[in-house]
Amino acid sequence: MKIAVVGVGVAGAYLLNRLSKEHEVVGFERMKECEHDSICAWATTIEGMKDLISKTGLNFEDYILHKGVKMDIITNTPFSLRLKGLCTYDKIGLIKDLIKDCKIIYGSMIGREIKDEFDLVIDSTGFNRTLLPRLDNELWIPTIQYKVKYDKMPFEDFMLKPFPNMNGYFWYFPLNDNYAHIGAGDKNKMHKRIVDEFVQEYGGDIVKKVGRPVRLTPPTLCEPFIDDNVVGVGESIGTVFALLGEGIIPSTTCADLLINNINNLKYYRKKVLEEFKIYYDVFRFVRDKINNEYTLIKYLPSLIKIYLYMKKRESRFGMEIKLSNMLKISRL
């Protein structure tokens, strides 16, 4: 097939690498090649990524920048989570290696006009969802992130500060060589102020400032994700685990599902809806917390369902999962 992959982020790069082996594939990226970057805190888990990346012939562990031991959660009663493989990695470095032998056209904001030139067009444009129909009543969180260079790191390991009502959180994720990503996403739009206050308190040289919204609407509510010869993958169809704002593993998993079912898109749709079914429960929980419609009695069954899902997959989530910690956060 002649395939266009529009958007070269984590999902697009993975698709380009693997589909190029059997198809005639062209990638399109709106950023210029010299500015190509990935707006993200670059945190993921070894267990969640290593098998997916090994299918490309690369070794995920070669890209790790910092392996976490614990994550401090700052609330009125602070606590720590024991980490099980949560790390930061060189996300753009891996993307660039994945697409090394692929044909990419940079610096072009692509729209639906390319539809007729290809057998299949993949919308991997992330939050933009440029090639698929617009969605109504979306839930998304605005974010801002700074890359900061420190003389001495203010914290040695991961740190996270959740905001009341699950409106978002502040993060401090160490990279390598005394760099860290610090950022925040906040439905109440206080994110920039909070990140600036952190910089005022702890100093450091800001070397990069980025930001974009993150889609929390799950795949169940992102249909259609097949429209004529256009198919969506990754965050363009809502593969973000809303409780954590985590999209790297879900978007790569979604790309893997598309590769396995590239000749049967109806089956791909079915598999996506199955794989990300729990994301709807997680989304409802977060949405209703944000809207102040959450009560523990009403949500206890779904909270337990989410807890059991995560507990069974502790290594995939890279941290110990305790119901008591989930209840602490849900009470904020």
Ligand X SMILES: Cc1cc2nc3c(=O)[nH]c(=O)nc-3n(C[C@H](O)[C@H](O)[C@H](O)COP(=O)(O)OP(=O)(O)OC[C@H]3O[C@@H](n4cnc5c(N)ncnc54)[C@H](O)[C@@H]3O)c2cc1C
Q: How far apart are CA 54 and CA 52, in angstroms?
A: 6
Counting beta carbons within 10 angstroms of the beta carbon of residue 296, is it exposed (0 to 12), middle (13 to 18) or buried (19 or more)? exposed
* Distance (Å, whole) CA 280 – CA 102: 35
Q: Considering only 2-10, 114-122, 153-161, 271-279, which stretch makes contact with ligand X by CB under 6 A? A: 2-10
Using the rule CB under 6 A, which residue among 130, 167, 253, 330 binds ligand X? Answer: 130
Please, what's the b/e burial string for 209-243 (b: 16 or more CB within 10 A of its CB; e: otherwise)? eebeebbbbbbbbbbebbbebbbbbbbbbbbbbbb
Residue 313 CB, nearest distance to ligand X (Å)? 14
* Pairwise CA distance, residues 126 & 226, whole Å: 15
Total Cβ atoms within 10 A of residue 246: 20
Does position 231 interact with ligand X (CB under 6 A)? The reply is no
Taking CB under 6 A as the binding criterion, the range among 27-35, 69-77, 160-168, 222-230 that sits at the site for ligand X is: 27-35
Does residue 184 belong to the site contacting ligand X (CB under 6 A)? no
Identity of the residue numbered 65: L
Taking CB under 6 A as the criterion, the residue among 20, 145, 217, 330 binding ligand X is 145
Find the binder of ligand X among 216, 242, 243, 248 (CB under 6 A). Answer: 248
What is the closest distance, in whole angstroms, from the C-beta atom of residue 10 to ligand X in the complex?
4
H or E segment and range at residue 26:
strand 24-29
Kindly determine how many residues on this chain lie close enough to bind ligand X according to the rule CB under 6 A. 40
Binding to ligand X by CB under 6 A, coded x per residue (else -) over 283-322, reads ----------------------------------------
Query: Other CB atoms closer than 10 Å to residue 111's CB: what's the count?
Result: 10
The two structure tokens encoding residue 112:
């639906």
143 binds ligand X (CB under 6 A): yes
Among residue numbers 32 through 51, which ones bind ligand X (CB under 6 A)? Answer: 38-44
In the complex, least distance from residue 276 CB atom to ligand X, rounded to whole angstroms: 13
The whole-angstrom separation of Cα 172 and Cα 159 is 5
Q: Give me the least distance between CB of 293 and ligand X, in Å please.
A: 25
The site for ligand X (CB under 6 A) is made up of: 6-12, 28-31, 38-44, 109-110, 124-128, 130, 143, 145, 183, 212, 214, 234-236, 240, 245-248, 251
